[in-house]
Amino acid sequence: MRILIFSMEFADPIFSGNGVLARTYATELVKQHHTVDVITSYPVSAWVDKAEVKTGWMSNDIASTDAATPPFRKKNDQQKPLYIALPVPEKKWRKLDWNGPHDYYAQGCLEYFQPSSQEKNAASTKDEVSKSSHLSVFECVFNKARSVFYREEEDEPCTKHDNKTIDSIFIVDWHGFVEFEKIKSQWTGTNSKDFGTNQQQQPKIIFLNFRVFANSILLPETKSEEFMFYKKMETAAMESSHATVCLAETDKKMLLSMVSSSCDATSHPVFILPPALQPNLISRCSATWKSLPMSLNNFDAVKKDVDDPRKGTFLLCSCVRLDPTKNALKFVEIVEELVKRNNNNQKSNNGHFSLVKSKKYPQACVIPFLCGAAANVEYANLVRNRLRQACSIANGDIDDNNKVNCIIREDFVTSDELVRYFQSSILNVHPCEYDAFGMTVSESAACGVLSITHGERRYDSKNYDASNTSVSTIFDKKNGGDKLHQPKECWDSNVGACGLFDYQKSEIILTDFRKPATEIANAMEPLLLSLLERAVECAQSNGQTSSLPDLDEWHQQARMTALSHTPETATVKLIQMVNNL
């Protein structure tokens, strides 16, 4: 199958899970012997109207842009997805909302793929015989993309098929749809589905909705200009596509409600396909995982006595894009509350900084770890500075015992690094009140680490106290935590990843992140302490977990659930969806 992908984020520097997922699909499709071209964008610091268009290919977790003459491969070498990256202003980069670079992305594509007069006349002709001798609009675009990658003649109009029929077009989010419409309108003179060829030759158009932007959870003012803009774009994208693919049931419901009055949109199916883990993350987790994370190894930033695992430092991590929609500040507020409780007396815990204090293992420590791209620079600086301030005792970020108080990664974290961080963590905090999926929830589970994320309690009886901020896990029931899991209690979550894991079996932990940080910390503190002590015990036993059967069971189940959803299985399902249309 020949596939053309429109994805605003694909080339480096990548900044969100949407771009990571686009890369994962493109790479795996090529492995399955499909031909894939990607039309994307990249940031330019000193913006000029005629900035250079770059080309490159995706390989080994990196999609690097090269100059106009990279070392192109031969036509038969189809091991990596190829892409054209159109320039956009750097000040607009790292934004997926309407303040991002979508206009520049679409305009650049409009200019780059502008047809010649002969091609435009042929595409818009009313003569059906003449039409049939020419390729469809996206076959022309596809061929022009291939001519760039393979240095074919670009000046010849598209007048023969030459076995280059494009089979499917994948549009990633509404940004890709804007570009899609720009190209289509200039070749056909209309925004209809008429591509200048008969129905059998038309490519299947798939709208890959990696996040619903017309989202009443994130934008409660549903009559606002921004909300209506997203609704218009996403509705039009569904109407222009043969099918829509989203990540979770919550998103499917929102998309269908948006277009409930549109016969065209609702006549096309909406599929749910949870995102897969990155291949190299799967292989690394499978090769190195132990039932509980060991204390940090080979991190120069953290000092510990490797001969005594009780002196190990473990992480409370949060890996989300630093943007208000991800609620990253809530993680910092919880850390601030835990710091107040556990670090007023520096003589406790042998003087070590720690978010919780263990009497059983006084030298064991938990410190916060934060990583995430700065989608909103002002907000990101606020989050990072408050975390540093909360953890700044003694000598800045390092205490008197030369132990690090917090780790903040501002640069891009590779999947190998992410695995190492997760395997040194005891809990992953995912504070988003809504997330289309929440990839790090699945990634942490693959590393044997539980995640705590947003959920709302529902009750079938008046006997329960809904104001109680407890955590939905049987783990605390054994360790003196809040009252949990009554027979008629259930939880709902607007974080897509929660659909993969069973909270009733403690594969994931839910709490209400709309509550004040003080209440959340009340519920988290005993859980965090229990996790720390069990992590130390596991480290002491060199990974032997026979004495911790319950703990091992739900770590193992969550891990297997995450690892079972591979890029291969996801893309096979995606292609099956396309073929069945």
Q: For residue 487, what pLDDT is reported?
A: 35
CATH says 279-564 is which class? alpha beta
Q: What is the DSSP string of 459-485?
A: ESSTTS-TT----S-HHHHTTT-----
* One-letter-per-residue 3-state SS of 169-180: EEEEHHHHHHHH
Q: What is the pLDDT of residues 437-456, one digit of tens each?
A: 888 999 888 888 889 999 87
Q: What is the overall mean pLDDT for the chain?
A: 73
Q: Which carries the bigger pLDDT value, residue 40 or residue 128?
A: 40
97, with CB counted inside 10 A (0-12, 13-18, 19+), is middle
For 456, other C-beta atoms within 10 Å of its C-beta total 16
Which residues on neighbouring strands pair with residue 453, listed in sequence order?
430, 510
Q: How confident is the model at residue 50 (pLDDT cuts 50, 70, 90)?
A: low
- Distance CA(209)–CA(66), nearest Å, equals 29
Residue 542, classed as helix, strand or coil, is coil
User: Tens of pLDDT along 287-310?
Assistant: 544 433 433 333 333 334 333 343
Query: pTM for this structure?
Result: 0.73
End-to-end CA distance of the chain: 14
Among 491, 498, 497, 471, CA closest to 483: 471
Residue 123: what pLDDT? 53
> Token pair for residue 89?
């202003």
CA distances to 23, 422, 440 from 418, rounded to whole Å, are: 17, 6, 9
How do the domains of the chain map onto residue ranges? 2-222, 279-564
Q: Is the pLDDT confidence value at 207 over 90?
A: yes
Cβ(219)–Cβ(182) below 8 Å = no
Contact 21/133 with Cβ under 8 angstroms?
no
Cβ neighbourhood burial of 261 (10 Å; 0-12, 13-18, 19+): exposed
- CA distances from residue 89 to 225, 254, 470, 549 in whole angstroms, order as listed: 24, 32, 45, 54
User: Buried b vs exposed e over 404-440: b needs ≥16 C-beta within 10 Å?
Assistant: bbbbbeeeebebeebbbbbbbbbbbbbbbbbbbbbbb
pLDDT at 462 (0 to 100): 40
Mean pLDDT, residues 49-69? 52
Sign of CA dihedral 282, 283, 289, 294: negative
* Residue with the larger pLDDT of the pair 88 and 183: 88
